[in-house]
């Protein structure tokens, strides 16, 4: 085996280079998305849901990735061949042809507008039995508050303010995405936010945790600008986008609903003013408050539809 590797060392190196280049190209040719978690598709048409329309895709370009690609191509020009092939197939897969014009391909996660799953209210019966203090109205109010605060934290680039509301994994993902805006000196503006409807779809358990799927319909203006001159990069300053989401909330089984007056500004364990470090721990009592041990936290965002 060792002898075979030594004989084919140069070939293996070339294969690894091609693999790395393909990965970089795929990063460069991703459709432009935004809002918290980059959910709004700026490339979708304005005449319907994002599963239709006739506008072409836009693509984001990471300058660091582009610099790496150019360096490799300058050293070994033959690598340009697989790059061109990959770009061709990526663009072709995102576009279809009809009547000689490009048409945007459906975004996989999107369903048609108003295709929100039906609520399974009967699933809440078990939750009411084990948690008599649970209130649909209070939960909906909590989710609406979370939605507004997350959007503002995202726009103001103060993602630490979102720490009490998300699981570790989701917080880390969103922070990494927001760090890209900061590095590129851009701001994702989210304005005129209106939550049109919020509804609990279903309750279920999995392992040691319990979950709530919550449907949210919202409308807001979403666009990206350069920080220095305020120049519009993408999006629309004047026309709002209608979004439908399913938020998946999680908490540990057996955790009762907190008193209605307990706010997210206080630690649910010790009652101190909430000051949470990057590990999700209260800096006063060292309790982890972002795992769902004390209250519902956001674990996943699924986009159902986007509509102008």
Q: Are residues 128 and 228 in the same domain?
A: yes
Instruction: Print burial letters for 258-286: b (CB count within 10 Å at least 16), e (below 16).
Output: beeeeebebbbeeeeebebeeebbbeeee
Residue 20 neighbours by CB under 8 Å, 6+ apart: none
Q: Is 201 within the bounds of a domain?
A: yes
Q: Are residues 142 and 22 in the same domain?
A: no
Least confident segment among 108-122, 136-150, 240-254: 108-122
Q: Are residues 137 and 58 in the same domain?
A: no
Q: What domain range includes position 229?
A: 121-307
Please write the tens of the pLDDT for every residue from 9-63. Answer: 566 566 555 655 555 545 444 444 567 767 777 665 443 333 333 333 334 444 4
Q: Are residues 127 and 250 in the same domain?
A: yes
Q: Is 42 within the bounds of a domain?
A: no
* Distance set, CA 123 to CA 203, 204, 251, 253, 268 (Å): 5, 7, 16, 15, 27
Q: Are residues 135 and 61 in the same domain?
A: no
Token digits of residue 141: 């109010």
Q: Is 164 within the bounds of a domain?
A: yes
CA-angle at 195, arms to 190 and 197, nearest 5°:
150
Q: Is 260 within the bounds of a domain?
A: yes
CA 116/CA 93 separation, integer angstroms: 27
Q: Are residues 136 and 8 in the same domain?
A: no
Please write the tens of the pLDDT for every residue from 49-107. Answer: 333 333 333 344 444 455 556 666 777 776 677 767 766 665 555 444 333 333 333 33
Q: Are residues 130 and 269 in the same domain?
A: yes
Going by C-alpha positions, the residue among 36, 280, 246, 274 that lies closest to residue 148 is 36
Mean pLDDT value across residues 227-240: 94
Mean pLDDT value across residues 118-141: 91
Q: Is 200 within the bounds of a domain?
A: yes
Here the CATH number for the domain that contains residue 256 is 3.10.450.240
Number of domains in the chain: 2
Q: Are residues 59 and 202 in the same domain?
A: no
Q: Are residues 145 and 241 in the same domain?
A: yes
Residue finishing a domain among 104, 135, 168: 104
CA-angle at 303, arms to 300 and 308, nearest 5°:
150
Going by C-alpha positions, the residue among 163, 198, 132 that lies closest to residue 290 is 163
Q: Is 151 within the bounds of a domain?
A: yes
Is-contact 292 252, C-beta < 8 A? yes
By three-state DSSP, how is residue 307 classified?
Answer: strand
Q: What is the pLDDT of residue 193?
A: 93
Q: Is 226 within the bounds of a domain?
A: yes
Q: Is 19 within the bounds of a domain?
A: yes
Q: How confident is the model at residue 196 (pLDDT cuts 50, 70, 90)?
A: very high
Instruction: Assess whether pLDDT exceeds 50 at residue 233.
Output: yes
Is-contact 107 51, C-beta < 8 A? yes
Q: Are residues 256 and 131 in the same domain?
A: yes
Is-contact 233 255, C-beta < 8 A? no
């Amino acid at each position: 085996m060792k002898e075979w590797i030594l004989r084919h060392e140069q070939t293996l190196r070339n294969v690894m280079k091609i693999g790395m280049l393909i990965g970089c190209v795929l990063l460069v040719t991703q459709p432009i998305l935004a809002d918290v978690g980059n959910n709004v598709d700026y490339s979708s048409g304005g005449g319907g849901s994002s599963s239709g329309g006739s506008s072409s895709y836009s693509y984001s370009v990471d300058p660091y990735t582009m610099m790496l690609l150019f360096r490799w191509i300058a050293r070994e020009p033959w690598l340009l061949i697989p790059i061109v092939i990959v770009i061709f197939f990526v663009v072709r897969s995102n576009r279809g042809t009809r009547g000689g014009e490009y048409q945007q391909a459906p975004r996989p996660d999107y369903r048609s507008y108003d295709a929100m799953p039906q609520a399974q209210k009967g699933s809440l019966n078990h939750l009411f039995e084990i948690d008599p203090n649970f209130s649909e109205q209070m939960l909906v109010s909590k989710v609406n508050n979370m939605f507004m605060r997350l959007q503002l934290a995202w726009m103001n680039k103060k993602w630490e303010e979102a720490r009490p509301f998300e699981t570790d994994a989701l917080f880390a993902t969103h922070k990494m995405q927001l760090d890209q805006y900061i590095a590129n000196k851009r701001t994702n503006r989210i304005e005129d936010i209106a939550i049109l409807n919020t509804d609990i779809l279903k309750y279920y358990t999995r392992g040691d945790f319990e979950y709530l799927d919550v449907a949210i319909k919202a409308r807001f203006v979403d666009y990206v600008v350069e920080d220095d001159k305020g120049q519009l990069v993408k999006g629309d300053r004047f026309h709002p986008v209608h979004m439908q989401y399913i938020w998946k909330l999680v908490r540990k089984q057996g955790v009762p609903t907190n008193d209605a007056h307990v706010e997210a500004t206080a630690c649910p364990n010790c009652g101190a003013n909430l000051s949470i470090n990057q590990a999700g721990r209260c800096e006063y009592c060292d309790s982890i408050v972002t795992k769902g041990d004390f209250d519902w936290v956001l674990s996943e965002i699924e986009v159902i539809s986007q509509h102008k």
